[in-house]
Chains A and B, each alone.
Chain A
């Protein structure tokens, strides 16, 4: 079972070496890939492991981003302290909203998460005196020990994201993670063996939101500003795209998907303003031709990519 760690290790080494080789623009792209990758991985805790589609995950990402932004701009709180606080605030939001979401399944779950996401979006958008409304918040900068160059913040992000991913991995490989899989595959049977399905789902929802909040917290200092768009339903679609591209049944699928999607967009937007059409066509092709995502497809050919989770899951409609 040793080669289970081979692929993540290769990825990590690649992530360490790449910024010294590629031009600066691509370091920014890599940073974005990491942040969005953690966001997508947290989304996949709900999607891949719990079997529910959330279309409002950006709300927690946005709450994390705004927590860090507000703390840094208005109270000069150091970034290292902002990160756990962002996780906390996103988690608290999810504790309240998720309580209602986990009562539903399937399409209703998707729509309720979306409605809550829009609710958070409008609150941030309308609350001018506190959040700056559509202006967003400017003047969020990386801490002094990182400076303003691209590489230091990239490595900071890499460390935080790596810790986040390892934490998610441990959770997903724990008995709790396997309970989630059981719920995904058959919620009724899981209930019958004495597991409080709703409570487990609620807990998982909160965990996913916390890591989305962590990803969001990294975004503000990277971009020097945050804006309400980070919470919109279109932004909630991003982790869905990424996860589906990379492969939802592989722990690293969302991260790989983030790399494909972000690089594709960085490439496409440089020569056409019709990027929505290009991304639309690409994703339709991905869904129709390789339903398991890239890692799902490669996993059939390259055994070391494969993980033990190819289940034929049913939808809980």
Chain B
């Protein structure tokens, strides 16, 4: 009887202490992380994947107590509608009402560029994980803006180098570009044209096509290009635009006649167009999970992501996941969640991500991550084709030289 009473007393005390301890741990300030992505409009497809991966990363980190083991991550997710002015308003709202310390933003480079000065004014970290125009970090740099995705220059260079090699090999003479009419499409196209000119001087650019972002009818472009009979077409179309363009071009037997090397075909497209994608196409992507399954972090991520969402992670999921973990490691190095210190600690920081050990470049806060070029081939292990003979073009091989960045900044100041 007595023993029971004593036992009950102890159990009560221990339970009380336990709860006390828990609330004590909880009392540490939570980390408010904003996610402002284009959940409606052309960016919805990629953004939705990224949100899922960010949620997964936050859950994992929170299961271990949060950042530094005590600052639980609270997510605040907003829709920028892929429009710059809406993006600015939503991010202001996140900063002022939800008190976020960092924001992952955006699908569209134009939105990311509009948000950049706002984040800087309010001293909030700004991480770009889909939008990758190099202008986000190249000119008017903000110490608060970081980019965890290979930027447009790096991607263009990787694709253009691969394309140039093929052009030399096959003796191609003439080509045409087709680029979606927006920041990313335009800048990628311009860089590729420059690099191709340098590497294969006798190549001539016959025409540049810029269909509207979100175009649904490519027929006139397709036949227009075929009429000019180029040796190859260099495409800077992303997401839904690339899907629509390729589906329509294929029905014209376009790819049988004209080579189409180096366009962006991410894992999203590989999965969506599994049945219809032309095989043996040489293409480019930003963060394919199958390129890094040897890294335990990636293997775990793929396993957990599949368990939670019952699908394979796209590039955008990988990048979102990496964005959160890069931030985590910045916080750990700073030993505080104070944004000023985290920002400083992330400068030049080397982080362990699903894509390996990567470093933020000091000059522009661009993660020196790889671009991936490969041949689209079926694989029995997956219900969709993947890249074979992957060439991983490292960040160090594809980054814009620092001297050029400084020059561009000087020119922009004038």
Residues of A within 8 A of B (CB): 23-25, 28, 32, 125-126, 128, 133-136, 138-139, 141, 148, 219, 223-225, 227, 229-230, 266, 269-270, 273, 275-276
Partner of A25, one of B79, B97, B110: B97
Q: Are A134 and B182 within 8 A (Cβ)?
A: yes
Write out the residue numbers on chain A whose beta carbons fall within 8 Å of the beta carbon of B213. 134
Cβ contact within 8 Å between B96 and A225: no
Instruction: Give every chain B residue within 8 A of A275 (Cβ-Cβ).
Output: 79
Query: Contact at A227–B78, with CB atoms within 8 Å?
Result: no
B residues less than 8 Å from A266 (CB atoms)? 89, 93
Q: Which residues of A contact B181 (CB under 8 A)?
A: 125-126, 133-134
Given A134-B181, A136-B84, A269-B79, do A224 and B96 touch, yes or no (CB 8 Å)?
no
Interface presence of B15 (CB below 8 A): no
Q: Are B83 and A227 in contact (CB under 8 A)?
A: yes
How far is B99's CA from A270's CA once the two chains are assembled, in angstroms? 13
A227 touches B186 (CB 8 A): no
Q: Which of B20-28, B113-121, B282-290 lines the interface with chain A?
A: B113-121
Residues A225 and B79 in contact, CB atoms below 8 Å apart: no
Bound form: Cα–Cα A25–B118 in Å: 13
Query: Is there contact, CB below 8 Å, between A270 and B85?
Result: no
| CB closest chain-A residue, reference B116 | A138
Query: Do B186 and A128 touch across chains, with their CB atoms under 8 A apart?
Result: yes
With A133-B181, A227-B110 known as contacts, the answer to whether A23 contacts B96 (CB < 8 A) is yes
Instruction: Please tell me if B55 contacts chain A, counting CB pairs below 8 Å.
Output: no
A128 to B182, CA, bound (A): 10
Alpha-carbon gap, A28 to B97, bound state (A): 11
B 91-105 binary contact with A (CB < 8 Å = 1; else 0) = 011001110000000
Asked whether any CB of chain A lies closer than 8 Å to the CB of B183, the reply is yes
B90 at interface, CB cutoff 8 A: yes
The closest CB in chain B to the CB of A270 belongs to B93
Taking CB atoms, residues of chain A closer than 8 Å to B92 are: 25, 28
Contacts of A28 in B (CB 8 A): 89, 92, 96
Q: Are A133 and B121 in contact (CB under 8 A)?
A: no
Q: Min CB distance, A171 to chain B, in Å?
A: 29
Q: Does B88 contact A (CB under 8 A)?
A: yes
| 38-89 of chain B: CB within 8 A of chain A | 39-40, 78-79, 83-85, 88-89
Smallest CB–CB gap between A102 and chain B, Å?
Answer: 30
Which of B40, B78, B89, B183 is in CB contact (< 8 Å) with A135?
B183
Are B88 and A223 in contact, with the CB atoms below 8 A?
Answer: yes
Alpha-carbon distance between A69 and B181 when the two chains are bound, in angstroms: 21
Interface string of B27-40 (1 = CB under 8 A from A): 00000000000011
Q: Which residues of B contact A (CB under 8 A)?
A: 39-40, 78-79, 83-85, 88-90, 92-93, 96-98, 109-110, 113-114, 116-118, 121, 135, 140, 181-183, 186, 213
Neighbouring A residues of B90 by C-beta, 8 Å:
269
Q: A28-B96, A229-B83, A276-B40 are in contact. Are A224 and B114 (CB under 8 A)?
A: yes
In the complex, A138→B140 CA distance in Å?
10
12 new A-B pairs (CB below 8 Å) besides A23-B97, A134-B181, A138-B116?
A23-B96, A134-B110, A134-B183, A135-B109, A135-B113, A136-B114, A138-B113, A223-B88, A223-B89, A225-B117, A270-B78, A273-B39
Compute the total of residue contacts between A and B using a CB distance below 8 Å: 84
What distance in Å separates the Cβ of B34 from its nearest Cβ neighbour in chain A? 11
**Contact, CB under 8 Å: A148 / B40:** no
- Most chain A CB neighbours (cut-off 10 Å) among B84, B93, B182, B183: B84
Distance to closest chain A CB from B360 (angstroms):
22
Q: How far is the CA of A266 from the CA of B39 in the complex (A)?
A: 17
Chain A to chain B: the 5 pairs with minimum beta-carbon distance, closest first = A25-B96, A227-B84, A273-B79, A134-B182, A225-B114
Max chain B C-beta neighbours (<10 A), residue from A23, A25, A126: A25
B97–A270 contact, CB under 8 A? yes
In the complex, the answer to whether B118 meets A227 with C-beta atoms within 8 Å is no
Smallest CB-CB separation from A128: which chain B residue?
B186
Minimal Cβ-Cβ distance residue in B for A223: B88
Complex contacts, B78 vs chain A, CB 8 Å: 269-270, 273
A24: chain B residues at CB < 8 Å are 96
Residues of A within 8 A of B183 (CB): 133-135
B121 touches A229 (CB 8 A): no
A128 to B92 CA separation, bound complex (whole angstroms): 28
Distance between Cα atoms of A25 and B91 in the complex (Å): 10
Could you tell me the distance between the alpha carbons of A131 and B182 in the complex, rounded to whole angstroms?
13
Contacts of A134 in B (CB 8 A): 110, 181-183, 213
Q: A23-B96, A270-B97, A276-B40 are in contact. Are A224 and B186 (CB under 8 A)?
A: no
A225:B84 contact, CB within 8 angstroms: yes
Least distance between B270 CB and chain A CB atoms (Å): 26
Residues of A within 8 A of B117 (CB): 138-139, 141, 224-225
Partner of A225 from the list B97, B113, B135 (CB cut-off 8 Å) is B113
Q: How far is the CA of A223 from the CA of B121 in the complex (A)?
A: 12
Return chain B residues, CB-CB under 8 Å to A273.
39-40, 78-79
Q: Which residues of A contact B79 (CB under 8 A)?
A: 269, 273, 275
Closest CB-CB distance, A24 to chain B, in whole Å? 5
- Which residues of chain B are within 8 angstroms of A141 by Cβ–Cβ distance? 117
CB proximity of B240 to chain A, nearest CB, Å: 16
- Chain B residues in 8 Å Cβ range of A125: 181
Q: Which residue of B lies closest to A125 (CB)?
A: B181
Residue of A nearest to B88 (CB): A223
Shortest distance from the beta carbon of B205 to any chain A beta carbon, whole Å: 17
